Amino acid sequence: MSEHMVCLTSDLESGTAQRFDVEGHRIAVARVGDAFYAIGDRCSHEDFSLALGEVDSENCEIECARHGASFDLASGKAMTFPATEPVASYPVTIVDGSVVVELS
Binding footprint of ligand FES on the chain (CB under 6 A): 43, 45-46, 48, 64, 66-69, 82-83
Compare residues 29 and 62 and give the one whose CB is closer to ligand FES: 62
Whole-number minimum distance, CB 52 to ligand FES, in Å? Answer: 10
Residue 50: what are its φ and ψ, rounded to 5°?
Answer: -70, -25
Rg over CA atoms, the chain:
12
Compare residues 26 and 66 and give the one whose CB is closer to ligand FES: 66
d(CA 38, CA 82): 21
Find the helix or strand (DSSP H, E) in which 33 lies: none
| H and E: helices and strands count for the chain | 0, 10
Whole-number minimum distance, CB 26 to ligand FES, in Å? Answer: 14
Whole-number minimum distance, CB 92 to ligand FES, in Å? Answer: 22
Compare residues 50 and 99 and give the one whose CB is closer to ligand FES: 50
